[in-house]
C-alpha cells in the first residue's frame, strides 16, 4: 500500500513504468511486449494487477467493503499462493453494479502522475449512464494503441480517412465535416492526409453523396452501415480498407466486402469503460491488448474457456487507478482463438458474438446466436429489418419497406426468417417508417426483450 507522498509507477509493462513516458517510448515498448511468450506476459500482468488491487483496496470504497474478497486480496498482497488461482476467486463486477455503485468505485485520491482526470460516460440500453474516470495514463495508452493499430495495418498515413459514425449535435452537417488531418493523436505523431466524417443518423442518400465527394481510401464505420452501403451499390473508387467497430462483425459481411468490393477488413473491439480490448492484425487475428487490459473469457462455471469455446468477456483495465474495474463483466460473449500467423503472441479472440440482449431463445428454451438474418432481403421490398423477440415462441419483424407487401411476400418473409432462425417461431410482420439506432450509433439486427438469463450453451 502506498502512502500519501509516494509517487506511483506502473509495475508492467516497463514502457509505462518510466515517469512521463512519451508516446514514442510507449509504442517502442509495446513493439517488444507483443512478442513476449504467454507466460512472460501473464507474469507481467500479475505484477501490475497485484499493484492495482492493492491500490483499489486502499483507496476505493467499493473494494474496501469488508465483504469484498478480503482473504483472496490479502493473499495476493502478501504474495502467498498462486496468483491466478487467487485472482479467479475474486468476484465479477457487473454493469448493473457499476451503475448502482457509481461514485463508490472511484478512488478517494489519485497520484499526481495520473492527473488530470477525465470522464467517460456510456448511456446503455437502459438509458442510465455508466460513468468511469480516465487518467493521463489511460489516455496515453489509448493514444498509443490507436497508433499501434495504424502501424499493424500498415496504413498509408497520407491517405484519405473517411468515417460514417455517431457525431454530436453541432457536427451533423448533411455534407459531412472536413479535417485537414486525421486529428489527435495521429496528427501529433506524424503527417497525415485529410479526414472527413458524416453523422450515421443521416440518410443513406447523404452518406452516398458524401462518399462520392470525399472518395476515401479507408472507411471507418459500423458493420450495419457497411452492409447498407454494399446493398446500395458501387464501391467508392479509391477505397481499399473498411474499418469496422462497435457491432459484431459477421463472416458473411466480411466475405461480401472482400469479394464484392475487393477491400481489406479491419476490426477494433473497445468499450468506453475499458478502452481498447482487441485489435485485428492484417492476418485477421483479433489480438487482446494485454499491455492495457486483462481479458478473461469464462464459461458458465467461471472457468477460463479453451480455444474454440465461447463465454462471457471479463475485462480488467490494468492502469486505471481513478476508477479501478476489477473483473468487469462487460456484457459481451466471445470465442477464444488460437495462435496467429503474424507471430505476435498477444492472445486472439476468434469472434465477438454480441451482447446478451442479442441472444435468441428457441421455443424449446435453448439459447443461440442468430445468424444470416439478412436472408429475408431476398424479398425485394425489404429495405431494412430488425428482429425483436417478444416471447419464447414469437418474433416481431420490424421492416422498413420500399413498397407494400403482397400476401405471398409476407409468407415468404416469415418462411425465410424461420429458416434463418432454425426454429418454428410465430413471425409477426410490422411495417415501420425507420429503425432507430442505439445511443452511440450501434444498430442491432436482433433484439431480445425476454428477461436476460445466464447463457448456457446447447
Q: Which residues form the interface with Zn ion (CB under 5 A)?
A: 281, 283, 285, 340, 342, 344
Q: Minimum distance between the CB of residue 341 and Zn ion, rounded to whole angstroms?
A: 7
Q: At what angle do helices 136-153 and 23-33 cross, to 10 degrees?
A: 60
Q: At what angle do helices 70-78 and 38-59 cross, to 10 degrees?
A: 120
* 203's grid cell: 440518410
Q: Minimum distance between the CB of residue 291 and Zn ion, rounded to whole angstroms?
A: 15
Q: Cα-flanking dihedrals φ and ψ of residue 446, to 5°?
A: -130, 130
Task: Tell me if 239 sits within 8 A of 218, measured CB to CB.
Answer: yes
* 438's grid cell: 442505439
What CA–CA distance (Å, rounded) separates 379 from 11? 58
Q: Minimum distance between the CB of residue 284 and Zn ion, rounded to whole angstroms?
A: 7
β-pairing, 348-355 vs 382-391, is unpaired
> Which CB sits closer to Zn ion, 57 or 345?
345
Q: Minimum distance between the CB of residue 345 and Zn ion, rounded to whole angstroms?
A: 9
The residues facing 428 across adjacent strands are 396
> Which CB sits closer to Zn ion, 31 or 419?
31
> Which CB sits closer to Zn ion, 85 or 339?
339
> Which CB sits closer to Zn ion, 281 or 297?
281
Q: Minimum distance between the CB of residue 279 and Zn ion, rounded to whole angstroms?
A: 9
> Which CB sits closer to Zn ion, 38 or 61?
38
What CA–CA distance (Å, rounded) separates 430 from 399? 6
Angle value at C-alpha 87, between 293 and 101, nearest 5 degrees: 70
What CA–CA distance (Å, rounded) separates 217 from 155? 10
β-pairing, 93-94 vs 328-336, is parallel
| End-to-end Cα spacing for the chain | 46
Q: Minimum distance between the CB of residue 254 and Zn ion, rounded to whole angstroms?
A: 16
What CA–CA distance (Å, rounded) separates 354 from 370? 10
> Which CB sits closer to Zn ion, 144 or 340?
340
> Which CB sits closer to Zn ion, 248 or 285?
285
Q: Minimum distance between the CB of residue 376 and Zn ion, rounded to whole angstroms?
A: 35
The residues facing 295 across adjacent strands are 315
The secondary element (H helix, E strand) that includes residue 296 is strand 293-298
DSSP state of 304: B
Q: Minimum distance between the CB of residue 340 and Zn ion, rounded to whole angstroms?
A: 3
Q: Cα-flanking dihedrals φ and ψ of residue 316, to 5°?
A: -125, 110
> Which CB sits closer to Zn ion, 35 or 203?
35
Task: Tell me if 370 sits within 8 A of 362, measured CB to CB.
Answer: no
Count the neighbouring beta carbons within 10 Å of the beta carbon of residue 181: 16
296: which residues sit within 8 A by CB, 6+ positions away? Answer: 88, 304, 313, 314, 315, 316, 327
β-pairing, 426-431 vs 394-401, is parallel
Q: Minimum distance between the CB of residue 312 and Zn ion, rounded to whole angstroms?
A: 24
Q: Minimum distance between the CB of residue 342 and Zn ion, rounded to whole angstroms?
A: 3
Q: In Å, how far from its chain's centre is CA 458?
A: 25
Q: Minimum distance between the CB of residue 41 and Zn ion, rounded to whole angstroms?
A: 15
The secondary element (H helix, E strand) that includes residue 39 is helix 38-59
Q: Minimum distance between the CB of residue 351 and Zn ion, rounded to whole angstroms?
A: 15
Count the neighbouring beta carbons within 10 Å of the beta carbon of residue 208: 16
Amino acid at each position: 500500500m502506498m502512502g500519501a507522498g509516494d509517487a506511483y509507477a506502473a509495475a508492467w509493462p516497463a514502457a509505462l513504468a518510466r515517469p512521463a513516458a512519451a508516446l514514442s517510448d510507449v509504442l517502442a515498448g509495446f513493439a517488444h511486449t507483443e512478442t513476449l511468450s504467454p507466460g512472460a506476459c501473464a507474469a507481467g500482468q500479475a505484477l501490475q494487477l497485484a499493484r492495482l488491487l492493492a491500490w483499489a483496496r486502499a483507496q476505493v470504497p467499493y473494494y474496501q467493503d469488508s465483504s469484498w474478497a478480503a482473504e483472496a486480496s490479502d493473499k495476493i498482497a502478501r504474495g502467498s499462493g498462486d496468483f491466478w488461482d487467487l485472482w479467479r476467486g475474486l468476484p465479477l463486477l457487473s454493469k448493473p453494479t457499476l451503475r448502482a455503485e457509481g461514485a463508490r468505485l472511484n478512488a478517494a485520491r489519485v497520484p499526481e502522475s495520473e492527473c488530470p482526470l477525465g470522464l467517460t460516460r456510456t448511456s446503455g440500453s437502459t438509458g442510465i449512464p455508466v460513468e468511469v474516470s480516465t487518467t493521463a495514463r489511460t489516455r496515453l495508452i489509448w493514444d498509443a494503441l490507436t497508433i499501434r493499430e495504424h502501424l499493424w495495418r500498415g496504413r498509408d498515413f497520407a491517405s484519405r480517412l473517411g468515417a460514417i459514425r455517431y457525431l454530436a449535435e453541432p457536427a451533423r452537417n448533411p455534407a459531412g465535416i472536413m479535417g485537414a488531418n486525421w486529428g489527435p493523436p495521429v496528427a501529433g505523431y506524424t503527417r497525415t492526409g485529410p479526414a472527413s466524417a458524416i453523422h450515421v443518423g443521416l440518410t443513406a442518400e447523404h452518406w452516398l453523396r458524401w462518399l462520392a465527394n470525399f472518395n476515401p481510401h479507408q472507411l471507418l464505420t459500423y458493420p450495419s452501415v457497411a452492409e447498407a452501403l454494399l446493398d446500395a451499390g458501387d464501391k467508392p473508387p479509391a477505397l481499399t480498407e473498411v474499418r469496422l467497430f462497435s457491432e459484431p462483425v459477421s463472416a458473411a459481411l466480411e466475405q461480401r466486402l472482400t469479394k464484392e468490393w475487393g477491400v481489406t477488413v479491419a476490426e477494433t473491439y473497445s468499450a468506453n469503460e475499458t478502452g481498447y480490448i482487441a485489435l485485428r492484425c492484417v492476418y485477421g487475428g483479433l489480438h487482446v491488448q494485454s499491455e492495457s487490459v486483462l481479458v478473461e473469457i469464462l464459461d458458465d462455471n467461471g472457468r477460463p474457456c479453451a480455444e474454440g469455446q465461447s463465454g462471457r468477456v471479463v475485462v480488467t483495465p490494468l492502469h486505471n487507478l481513478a476508477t479501478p474495474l476489477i473483473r468487469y463483466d462487460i456484457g459481451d460473449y466471445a470465442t477464444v482463438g488460437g495462435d496467429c500467423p503474424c507471430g505476435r503472441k498477444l492472445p486472439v479472440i476468434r469472434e465477438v458474438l454480441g451482447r446478451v440482449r442479442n441472444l435468441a431463445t428457441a421455443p424449446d428454451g435453448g439459447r443461440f446466436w442468430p445468424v444470416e438474418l439478412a436472408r429475408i432481403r431476398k424479398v425485394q421490398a425489404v429495405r431494412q429489418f430488425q428482429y425483436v423477440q417478444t416471447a419464447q415462441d414469437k418474433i416481431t419483424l420490424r421492416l422498413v419497406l420500399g413498397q407494400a407487401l403482397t400476401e405471398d411476400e409476407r409468407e415468404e418473409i416469415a418462411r425465410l426468417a424461420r429458416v434463418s432462425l432454425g426454429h418454428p417461431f410465430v413471425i409477426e410482420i410490422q411495417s415501420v417508417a425507420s429503425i432507430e439506432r442505439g445511443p452511440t450509433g450501434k444498430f442491432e439486427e436482433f433484439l431480445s426483450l425476454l428477461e436476460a438469463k445466464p447463457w448456457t450453451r446447447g
